[in-house]
Every structure is written in structure tokens, then in C-alpha cells.
Amino acid sequence: MFLPARVIVSRKEIDMAVLYNIYFSGKGTTKICAECIGTGLHMEWKSYDWRKQPCETELKIPREDVLLFSMPVYGGFIPKMCAEMAANLKGNHTPAIIAAVYGNRHYDDALLQMKELLTAQGFWVIAAGAFLAEHSIFPQVAAGRPDEKDQEAMAAFASECSCILEEMDMQQYSEIEVPGKAGYDVQAFQGVPFHPSGDDSCNGCMTCVNACPKKAINSEHPRETDSERCISCGACISVCPTGARNYHGDRYQAAGAQFTEKCSAYRSPETYYVNRRCRYV
């Protein structure tokens, strides 16, 4: 499959285009990745933080602009609420860059899912990256990431994306290929059995109540969490001023030890482009 030529033809025109920097970030690490890549693209941008402001109405992104779509990976897929909100994005052969941010286990089908979601909405995915960040549930895994080497990889990724954008009218590109199983089942992941809660140091400030994207924390009982709503994104942990919010219990500790043993090996970012693929070392 060959895709249509684009209208961006020079660095000057890229500088005039607008980057729609869309991301969901529970504990802030996906935001760090999105902003690092966005900075490297050297474009004017508009930020859309879907944790703080869900996309509930149609958002049209013109073909002369660019979409940067950065999402965390939960159980091999992007958050269900984000996949649903992606249906509100409307492109017109608009170039898109996708970034899956995962906590050192694997990104599984997330890049393929993101590509297919955006392609169905009129976007042309020109580049994809899988980047590392501290695990949102077991933070001892990939602790401190994205680190300096990760940021170098993201800068290199952004630079390559800029080159592709400049070349778009000079040649046609085949459809990008990314890892993933055809016919993947997003229902295969039903969440995790661990959810943050508050301890005795909770002062009832309600910061976590306002930060939760799923309204899983009741203002009358802010130490508690509705496990049916919670997606374990960690937003409540990251904003708690007293450190009261966290994961607790022997079962969580045991699972953390097992997960750490299996998933502690250092993984490197992987990047994919139309017509080519490379692993950053």
C-alpha cells in the first residue's frame, strides 16, 4: 500500500505547521516522553493531556499539521478510555507519530493498536516508538526511566521524524510496519488486582479525588478506591502531598518481587519508520 504525497515540503513549512501533542500520563512519565519528542521536532505545539481533560468532542487535525500520540501501555494495550477517545480524533491524511511508553515488561500489541486506531480516523502513521518509563505499579522496575540514554533516543527519534516530514513530497512511502499480532483481543487484559489506597497519613485534602481520571475515589472516603473503576494509572499516588496514597498489602509485595525478578533486565527503546526500522543502542 502506498500513501499519498504530503504538502509539507521544507523545514520552513514544518516550522509553520502545528504539532498536536496528545498524551495520557498517570504518573507523569508519558508526559515527559511526549514533551521530549515534541521538543525535538522543533514545531509550535498544542498540548492535550487526556488525564486532566478527556477528549469528549470531535477534534479535527488538518493535513498540514502533525499529530504526536503518546500513550502508556497497560497489559499490552493503551488504556481503554484512551482507545475510545481516539475515535474523536479526525485526520485528513494527517501525518502521525506514535509513542508507546511501557514499564519494562513489553509493549506487546500497543503500537499496532495505536496505528490501527489512528489509521481508521484518517491519519498516516509515519513513525512509531516504544520507550521505557518507571513501572506505574512496581516502581522498582525501570526506576528512574526515562533516563539520559532514553532521552537521547527520543531526540534521535524526533530528528528522524523531522527528516521524514521534510521528504514527504519527494517520494511515496509504503505503510509503516510495527510489531503486534493481527486480530489482537483488547478484552484479553481486564486490569490488575492491585489498586492504590490511602493510609493513616491521609489528610483528606481531596487532591487525589480531583486527579483520578476515572472518578474512582469518593470525596467522602478519600482513603478508599473503587476497584471497579480504578485503572491503576498511579495519578493519585503522584499528586498526594503526604505520600498517603500507594499500593499496600502482602499480596502486592509478593507480586512485586516476582515481577521484579522477571522484568528487571535493561531494555532499550525501539523505533519504527515508514520503510525502515532501527533499535537505538
Kindly report, residue by residue over 77-124, the tens digit of the pLDDT. Answer: 999 999 999 999 999 999 999 999 999 999 999 999 999 999 999 999
**Residues 197-246, CATH architecture:** 2-Layer Sandwich (3.30)
Quote the CA–CA distance of 153 and 238 in Å, as a whole number: 25
181-228 pLDDT, tens digit per residue, is 999 999 989 899 999 999 999 999 999 999 999 999 999 999 999 999
Please report the pLDDT score of residue 174 as a whole number. 75
Percent of the chain with pLDDT over 90: 87
Greater confidence, 280 or 81? 81
Question: What mean pLDDT, rounded, does the chain reach?
Answer: 92
Q: Where are the domains of the chain?
A: 11-181+265-279, 197-246
Q: Which fold has domain 11-181+265-279?
A: Rossmann fold (3.40.50)
Please report the pLDDT score of residue 9 as a whole number. 46
Quote the CA–CA distance of 198 and 216 in Å, as a whole number: 13
228-249 pLDDT, tens digit per residue, is 999 999 999 999 999 999 999 9
pTM assigned to the model: 0.92
Quote the CA–CA distance of 183 and 99 in Å, as a whole number: 21
Quote the CA–CA distance of 219 and 206 in Å, as a whole number: 6
